[in-house]
């Protein structure tokens, strides 16, 4: 028998979430952010599922868009960091990609490109995140230069997207308003967390990523019916009884306060389960929510199953999915669910669950 650890990708849940987002978007157009291998869920399979349900995709950089084109996907694709250099700029028109222009120099590359100009240009405005974007006071000149090449869309990105009442969100929204009202151009501001909050946003494009995968950005979305797309699963490969006073795992971090039963799962930080997870992090084993006991090691982890004598070797385990949710696990590890799904490593086989069979099909 092979190691039972796998990431099961539920493409039906992905479609379901897309339908919910479509409703949320109302009359706005819907872009699915599929950067970082669709947040670790598998870029091409997710994009094929989403293609009929969204108006465009967004990826971080050119190579990610090339993967989609090579897989035969003809959708509109926005490249969030735009071209890295003049040579890359030539590929945008060739491959039919929309670049984000966040630096004036990128516009010059397109003006000089021998392959022609892209079909659309998205100008990114720095409203206060201070990561990428054009200065607001340079915008007029750059918009006219861009408009002479292709249709222009304006975009920006919020630093505290989950909290529109945060003073920084208020400042960014004010600057965004001032920057965009001078032009009669389509706009795009909101990602997952903010899309649930800002009913009165007038942007033409909604630009979520995490909600497609059923995550709960900033604790939002739990009651809205989004379903987790990834289930990280394994099974018990050893169970032992230890006496009170014994310690478990590297560093002896977990101390048995009573005579205990410890179950071992063949999944560790080299699979993407976070080493930072603290004792007590919930794991579903044999249908019971049990606590992590001891430090996560490279290939294995241990849980306290003292309360559940029915848990034996072979009992199925779920590291995240519906229970516990990836965001709950992330909280116990001092991070966010985005980091956990996108860091599931290549040695974990992805299994596609297309809806019909619970186990699904292995997928390379």
Q: Which is nearer to ligand PLP, 133 or 272 (CB)?
A: 133
CB of 304 to ligand PLP, least distance (A): 34
Instruction: Please confirm, yes or no, whether 35 is among the known catalytic residues.
Output: yes
Q: Does 28 bind ligand PLP (CB under 6 A)?
A: no
> What is the closest distance, in whole angstroms, from the C-beta atom of residue 60 to ligand PLP in the complex?
7
Closest approach, Cβ 129 to ligand PLP, in A, equals: 9
Distance CA 97, CA 187 (A): 18
Q: Closer CB to ligand PLP, residue 191 or residue 353? A: 191
Minimum distance, C-beta of residue 282 to ligand PLP, in the bound complex (Å): 24
Contact between 192 and ligand PLP (CB under 6 A)?
Answer: yes
Shortest Å distance, C-beta 178 to ligand PLP: 20
Q: Residue 208 or 272: which CB sits closer to ligand PLP?
A: 208
Q: List the end-to-end C-alpha distance of the chain, in Å, as a whole number.
A: 18
> What distance lies between CA 321 and its chain's CA centroid?
14
| Candidate list 208, 228, 282, 360; residue touching ligand PLP; CB under 6 A | 208
Catalytic residue, chosen from 35, 39, 213, 269, is: 35
Active site residue 124: no
Residue 19, Cβ neighbours under 10 Å: how many? 12
Q: Does 205 bind ligand PLP (CB under 6 A)?
A: no
Interface residues for ligand PLP in 151-190 (CB under 6 A)?
157
Q: Decide if residue 33 touches ligand PLP (CB under 6 A).
A: yes
Residue 15 found at the interface with ligand PLP (CB under 6 A): no
47-86: which residues touch ligand PLP (CB under 6 A)?
Answer: 80
Q: How far apart are CA 264 and CA 4, in angstroms?
A: 12
Given the rule CB under 6 A, which of 104-112, 202-210, 222-230, 296-304 is the region that contacts ligand PLP? 202-210
Nearer to ligand PLP, 157 or 261 (CB): 157
Distance in Å, CB of 229 to ligand PLP, minimum: 13
Chosen residue from 145, 207, 261, 308 binding ligand PLP by CB under 6 A: 207
Q: Hey, what are 105's tokens?
A: 């120099």
Q: Binding ligand PLP by CB under 6 A: which of 209, 274, 282, 337?
A: 209
Q: Which is nearer to ligand PLP, 82 or 208 (CB)?
A: 208
CB 283 within 8 A of CB 289: yes
**Contact between 210 and ligand PLP (CB under 6 A)?**
yes
49-57, 109-117, 204-212, 342-350 -> range binding ligand PLP (CB under 6 A): 204-212
Closest separation between CB of residue 100 and ligand PLP, Å? Answer: 8
Number of chain residues interacting with ligand PLP (CB under 6 A): 12
Any residues with CB less than 8 A from the CB of 80 and at least 6 apart, and which?
33, 35, 58, 59, 60, 61, 100
Residues contributing to the site for ligand PLP (CB under 6 A): 33, 35, 80, 157, 191-193, 207-210, 217
Q: Which sequence positions are flagged as catalytic?
A: 35, 250
């Amino acid at each position: 028998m092979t190691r039972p650890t796998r990431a099961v990708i539920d493409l039906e849940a992905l479609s379901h979430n897309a339908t919910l987002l479509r409703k949320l978007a109302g009359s706005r157009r819907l872009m699915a952010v599929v950067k970082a291998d669709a947040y670790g869920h598998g870029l091409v399979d997710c994009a094929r599922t989403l293609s009929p349900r969204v108006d465009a995709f967004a990826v971080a950089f050119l190579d990610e868009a090339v993967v989609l084109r090579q897989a035969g996907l003809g959708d509109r694709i926005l490249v969030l960091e735009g071209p890295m250099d003049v040579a890359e700029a030539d590929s945008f028109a060739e491959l039919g990609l929309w670049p984000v222009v966040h630096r004036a120099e990128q516009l010059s590359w397109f003006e000089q490109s021998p392959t022609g100009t892209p079909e659309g240009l998205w100008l990114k405005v720095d409203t206060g995140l201070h990561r990428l974007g054009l200065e607001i006071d340079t915008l007029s000149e750059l918009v006219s230069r861009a408009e002479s090449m292709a249709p222009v869309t304006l975009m920006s990105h919020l630093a505290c997207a989950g909290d529109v009442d945060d003073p920084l969100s208020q400042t960014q929204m004010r600057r965004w308003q001032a920057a965009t009202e001078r032009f009669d151009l389509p706009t795009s501001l909101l990602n997952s967390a903010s899309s649930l909050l800002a009913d009165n946003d007038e942007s033409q494009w909604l630009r979520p990523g995490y909600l497609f995968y059923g995550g709960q950005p900033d604790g939002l979305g739990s009651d809205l019916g989004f379903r987790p797309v990834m289930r990280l699963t394994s099974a018990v490969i050893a169970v032992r009884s230890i006496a009170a006073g014994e310690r478990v795992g590297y560093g002896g971090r977990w101390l048995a306060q009573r005579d205990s039963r410890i179950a071992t799962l063949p999944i560790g930080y080299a699979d993407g389960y976070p080493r930072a997870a603290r004792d007590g992090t919930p794991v579903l084993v044999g249908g019971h929510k049990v606590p992590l006991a001891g430090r996560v090691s490279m290939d294995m982890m241990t849980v306290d199953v003292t309360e559940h004598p029915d848990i034996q070797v072979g009992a199925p385990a779920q590291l995240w999915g519906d229970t516990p949710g990836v965001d709950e696990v992330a909280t116990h590890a001092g991070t966010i669910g985005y980091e956990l799904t996108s860091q599931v490593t290549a040695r974990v086989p992805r299994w596609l669950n297309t809806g019909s069979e619970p186990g699904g099909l292995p997928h390379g």
